[in-house]
Amino acid sequence: MSLRERLSGSPLAIRVVPFAIFVLLTAAQGRLGAESAYWFYLAKTLAGAGMILALRPFIAEMRWAVSWEAIMIGVGIFALWVGLDPYFPHWMKSEPSNPVSQFSGRPALAWFFIGIHVVGMTLVVPPLEEVFYRSFLYRFIAAKDFMAVPLNRFLPLPFLVTTAAFGFEHSQWLSGILCGAAYQWLVLRKNRLGDAMTAHAITNLLLAVWVVWRGAWNFW
């Protein structure tokens, strides 16, 4: 039996394992030297995209959806993320990911990795994270039979725990918490995951443009 078949038979595994693999590859970034961070980012982006394509038919809620709320929240969270950054301490300190500096003598490679980063954070990260946090974790905290919990049911404890977990996944923890709360609100309001995926993608795309335009590599 293939891994795809094994995962597709478990609603829990199919929502958790892809995210766990992505996180493990993220943790490996830079472990083999500064340049390895970029190659591991490429590896996790390709792995994440492959898992999304393979498992999407078995995750009914992993469907993009566009609404005015998603667009407004996506843009608003980007502005909040950039605007709040100087005003609170970050809990994880790391070297900025600056491909222009890392590959100063190889500009084509630098722009290749910039493109990979933009694609990864815009099209791969949102489905993986939204499925894990808002389809799985939020509902699993509510009940072990999480598939029986409607996406639009507001539950205070799952809301707080999921929002905090999402926030502290990021060095910019305060912005992350507010971001997680906004995306969760979208899921509750729309009773679907697609709007949160779209808002997440818009935020990340605008942030990527900001990073490249302003050289604000600290956000990567």
pLDDT at 8: 73
pLDDT at 97: 84
pLDDT at 91: 81
**Sequence spans of domains, the chain:** 64-219
Digit-coded pLDDT (tens) for 194-213: 999 999 999 999 999 999 99
pTM (2 d.p.):
0.95
Regions in the chain scoring below 50 on pLDDT: none
Q: Six-digit token pair at 41?
A: 């980012």
Cα–Cα distance list, 53 to 42, 45, 121, 191 (Å): 17, 12, 16, 23
Digit-coded pLDDT (tens) for 144-156: 999 999 999 999 9
Q: Six-digit token pair at 191?
A: 């009773």
